[in-house]
Amino acid sequence: MTDQTGLSLPKSYFLSVFCEGIFHGMYTTLFCSAMYLLLRRHRRKSKGITNTIMTILTVVMYCISTVHLALSVRMNLVALFTQKAADGGETLYDDQGSPLYFGQVAFEVINCVLGDSIVTWRTWVLWGRDWRAIYFPCFLMVGSTVTGSVMVYQFSLSPPGQPNFSNNTTIWFSIFGGFSFLTNFYAVIVISLKAWLHQRKMKRVCVDVLVNGPRYYGALFLVIESGGIYCIAVILVIIFFVQSSNVVIILADMLAHLTGIYPTVIIVLRTSAGNHDYSKRSYEPLKNLSPPANEVQWTG
């Protein structure tokens, strides 16, 4: 099937594997860096259950990303070389009920929920572990889990030959994506608010909030920390899915890795900030997130 952009299913899936490989390579580099920094800290001094949980989540999300890539490669090998997708006819690309197909969707849902939980936890830490600050995102994550599970179930029931953008899957995907977007958008708002409030407080006592560092770097770090980039990616995926564009296949597979990449980026930047003492230089507005030198600090 070819969409309005002229992109056929075989081409879109082939491009998705290519893009996945690039993103997974980036993810692997970040994962190795994060694990080195986290395990080095474990050897020096125990950081308790929080650091252990972060290490476990980092490993789990990377493993999910790797399995997703493996399933994608397997499906493309079968469809392109065994079933001759380029010659036309029904292939795995047209069989959403295949475990190779809905299995990838399931792993994407799991990684999305895990990524949302990390962003929500960071919000909770920033607001002094006030549970009232995360009631709303917790509700949204429950919604993401439920709708994501239903979406995977709907995919598994799809008969061979059913269009990729059927009414049921489109509706549930849109709802699931909406929940995930709102979770991260909420984090963007409340983390930005916390930074602004702290900046005002520091200015009242005549303290330069951003010392010896460019102001734009703090803003960029804030966007990464709060999941702002991820919000944009989710919106793009929803838009292309609703439009029944095959471009969504490429973006969705990239998103499966981005959900693990951006929490790992946070780990690496936080640890590097501690090692180079740039918590004072670049991101003082969120002081609860700034670790002291040579220390990975997750608990604020």
Burial zone of 159 (CB within 10 Å; 0-12 exposed, 13-18 middle, 19+ buried): exposed
Structure confidence at residue 222 (pLDDT): 57
CATH of domain 9-289: 1.20.1070
Residue 202 one-letter amino acid: M
Place of tokens 């939980």: 117
Please state the pTM of the whole predicted model. Answer: 0.81
Structure confidence at residue 276 (pLDDT): 45
DSSP string of the chain? -B-TTS-BHHHHHHHHHHHHHHHHHHHHHHHHHHHHHHHHHHHHS--HHHHHHHHHHHHHHHHHHHHHHHHHHHHHHIIIIIS-GGG-S--GGG-TTSHHHHHHHHHHHHHHHHHHHHHHHHHHHHTTT-GGGGHHHHHHHHHHHHHHHHHHHHHHHPPTT--TT-HHHHHHHHHHHHHHHHHHHHHHHHHHHHHHHHHHHHHHTT--SS-SS-HHHHHHHHHHHHTHHHHHHHHHHHHHHHTT-THHHHHHHHHHHHHHHHHHHHHHHHHHHHHTT-HHHH-GGGGGG-PPTT------
- Greatest Cα pair distance, the chain, in angstroms, is 71
Structure confidence at residue 270 (pLDDT): 65
> Which tokens sit at 227?
């999941």
Structure confidence at residue 272 (pLDDT): 64
- Nearest Cα neighbor of 108 from 268, 276, 255 is 255
Interacting residues of 194 by C-beta distance below 8 A, sequence separation 6+: 126, 127, 285, 286
For the chain, the structural domain boundaries read 9-289
Structure confidence at residue 7 (pLDDT): 83
pLDDT 10s per residue in the chain (300 long)? 566 666 888 889 999 999 999 999 999 999 998 898 888 766 665 556 777 888 899 999 999 999 999 999 999 999 988 888 877 778 888 888 899 999 999 999 999 999 899 888 888 888 888 999 999 999 999 999 999 999 999 999 988 877 777 778 889 999 999 999 999 999 888 888 887 787 777 776 655 444 444 454 555 565 555 567 788 889 999 998 888 888 999 999 999 898 888 888 877 776 665 544 433 443 344 444 444 444 444 444
